[in-house]
Amino acid sequence: GDSVTQKQGQVTLSEDDFLFINCTYSTTTYPTLLWYVQYLGQGPQLLLKVTTANNKGISRGFEATYDKGTTSFHLQKASVQESDSAVYFCALVSSGSWQLIFGSGTQLTVMP
Amino acid sequence: GALVYQYPRRTICKSGTSMRMECQAVGFQATSVAWYRQSPQKTFELIALSTVNSAIKYEQNFTQEKFPISHPNLSFSSMTVLNAYLEDRGLYLCGARDRTYEQYFGPGTRLTVL
């Protein structure tokens, strides 16, 4: 079945550091790939999504490229802020489906 | 904009008792509502998908007898956790989907079972 893998359980950075969160996926379909962010005490919020392979999604300084060759959708940000501290979930939706398949999440902590 | 409200935000119940949680979509029509449980380790489990005027589809390990769901219209859904036990604790999330298949999440109902 479809799956999403996030290798990093926790990432700790200082303000203005570069962020890279690893995400790889496995599916036999043509998925939509998404990143959700979950702040403390809240539900997941859509950060960005990409529906077409080799395209890039950009939102609030975050970006991720749908790389069909490496089946990856890594999240990056050039300069993180303390307010970016949250849990980040990579997810996919298979074509023709509604179901979100989530990765295990990466807790980002940004120190002031 | 599209918002999803869930209440209560937190609830505590005694082992063996039941509790009901509600989900309301505002600013869009929730053609489908997915109920998830997020564990303390942050992993998501899909409980069921409810589509208005269609049968509710439960995932493996979740049943209607344990998690009955009501979805009477395009803005409201409720789910009850019957005979709650320790393993039922977690954050219950409602993901409401509009006609464009965009899924919006509520803040969740955190269930603690004593």
Q: What is the model's pLDDT at position B53?
A: 80
Instruction: Read off the pLDDT of each residue in B27-53 and give the average, rounded to a whole number.
Output: 91
Q: How confident is the model at residue B17 (pLDDT cuts 50, 70, 90)?
A: very high
Q: Can you give the length of chain A in residues?
A: 112
pLDDT digits (tens, 9 = 90+) for A58-110: 999 999 999 999 999 999 999 999 999 999 999 999 877 778 899 999 999 99
Q: Determine whether the interchain pair A98/B34 forms a contact, defined as Cβ–Cβ distance below 8 Å.
A: yes
How far is residue B33 CA from its own chain's centroid? 8
- A70 neighbors A62 (Cβ within 8 angstroms): no
Asked if omega into B72 is within 30° of 0 (cis), the reply is no
Q: How confident is the model at residue B41 (pLDDT cuts 50, 70, 90)?
A: confident
**Cα of B5 to nearest chain A Cα, Å:** 10
Q: Determine whether the interchain pair A43/B44 forms a contact, defined as Cβ–Cβ distance below 8 Å.
A: no
pLDDT digits (tens, 9 = 90+) for A2-57: 999 999 999 999 999 999 999 999 998 889 999 999 999 899 999 999 998 889 99
Q: Residue A72 has what DSSP assignment?
A: B
| pLDDT for residue B100 is more than 80 | no
Q: What is the model's pLDDT at position B114?
A: 94
Interface check B103 vs A, CB under 8 A = yes
